[in-house]
Amino acid sequence: MKAGTAQKMILNMISTAAMVRLGRVKGNRMVDLQIKCDKLRERARNLVMEETGATAAAALKALDGSGGSVRGAIAALRERRKTKRR
């Protein structure tokens, strides 16, 4: 392995460990992403859909309501589910 590749692997491990400790990871996915383009908006929508089982429209509505926060959207949709069950 060349030095550049080894250095990149070590830096990736350090940044991954830091994100896990900061609580920005859920399972094996980064959930605190900043939605700056359509690709990231779609990724955020898919994360919300997979975590909550919501439809695409509901996931986008929750993302908009949470100011683009994936974590906030997931929490909002789970809270709605709890209130509907009661």
Kindly state the average pLDDT of the residues 5-10.
Answer: 94
| pLDDT range class, residue 34, cuts 50, 70, 90 | confident
Domain ranges of the chain: 1-30, 32-86
3-state per-residue secondary structure call for the chain = CCHHHHHHHHHHHHHHHHHHHCCCEECCEECCCCCCCHHHHHHHHHHHHHHHCCCHHHHHHHHHHCCCCHHHHHHHHHHHHHHHHC
Kindly state the average pLDDT of the residues 19-23.
Answer: 91
| pLDDT range class, residue 1, cuts 50, 70, 90 | low
| pLDDT range class, residue 30, cuts 50, 70, 90 | confident
Residue 65 has a CB neighbour count (10 Å cut-off) of 13
- Weakest-pLDDT range from 16-25, 27-36, 55-64, 67-76: 27-36
